[in-house]
């Protein structure tokens, strides 16, 4: 998806709700739900980062782990155009 578009909180939530893993994020089989607000904040912050630094041409986070009250990016790759 294109983070260069200035996301709103509503846009970010709609994007999350449209993913294949949204049901898992809500908690299944007795697991606690992930912090959807935290994931929303990540998308908003990444959108702001890409807008603040237009030289960013690619940003890959794999994986972004979502927990009950937090999140963690395990590996991040940012490609810039000089």
* Cα distance between residue 82 and residue 12, in whole Å: 29
The 10s digit of each residue's pLDDT in 2-24 is 776 778 999 999 999 999 999 99
The 10s digit of each residue's pLDDT in 54-82 is 999 999 999 998 887 778 999 999 999 98
In this prediction, residue 1 carries a pLDDT of 63
* Cα distance between residue 1 and residue 82, in whole Å: 22
Q: Which CATH class is domain 9-80?
A: alpha beta
Say what the pTM is: 0.82
In this prediction, residue 69 carries a pLDDT of 79
């Amino acid at each position: 998806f294109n983070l260069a578009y200035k996301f709103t909180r509503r846009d970010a939530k709609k994007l999350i709700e449209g993913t294949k893993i949204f049901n898992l994020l809500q908690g299944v089989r007795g697991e606690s739900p992930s912090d959807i607000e935290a994931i929303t904040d990540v998308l908003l912050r990444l959108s702001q980062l890409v807008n603040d630094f237009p030289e960013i041409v690619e940003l890959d986070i794999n994986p972004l782990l979502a927990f009950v009250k937090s999140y963690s990016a395990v590996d991040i790759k940012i490609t810039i155009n000089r």
